[in-house]
Amino acid sequence: MRELYRILSGMLFASLALGLMFVPRPAMPQSGGAPGQTAQDNSIPAYHKELPDGPLPATMDPSQFDSPAVRNAYSVAAGMKKTLYQQPCYCHCDQHEGHGSLLDCFVGNHTAGCGVCMKEAFYVYEQLHKGKKAAQIREGIMRGEWNQVDLKKYETPMPPK
Average pLDDT over residues 134-148: 97
Supply the pLDDT for residue 87. Answer: 98
Half-sphere exposure of 160 (CA within 13 A, CB side): 2
Res. 160 pLDDT band, cuts 50 70 90: confident
Q: How many residues are present in the chain? A: 161
Average pLDDT over residues 24-46: 48
The secondary structure element, H or E, covering residue 28 is none
The pLDDT of residue 9 is above 90: no
Res. 158 pLDDT band, cuts 50 70 90: confident
The answer to whether the beta carbons of residues 110 and 100 sit under 8 Å apart is no
Res. 25 pLDDT band, cuts 50 70 90: very low
User: Would you call 11 helix, strand, or coil by DSSP?
Assistant: helix
Termini Cα distance of the chain:
79
Give me the helix-helix angle, 115-129 and 134-142, nearest 10°.
140
pLDDT over 70, % of the chain? 73
Res. 131 pLDDT band, cuts 50 70 90: very high
Distance CA 48, CA 51 (A): 7
The pLDDT of residue 106 is above 60: yes
Give 43-93 pLDDT, tens digit per residue. 899 999 999 999 999 999 999 999 999 999 999 999 999 999 999 999 999
Distance CA 89, CA 142 (A): 9
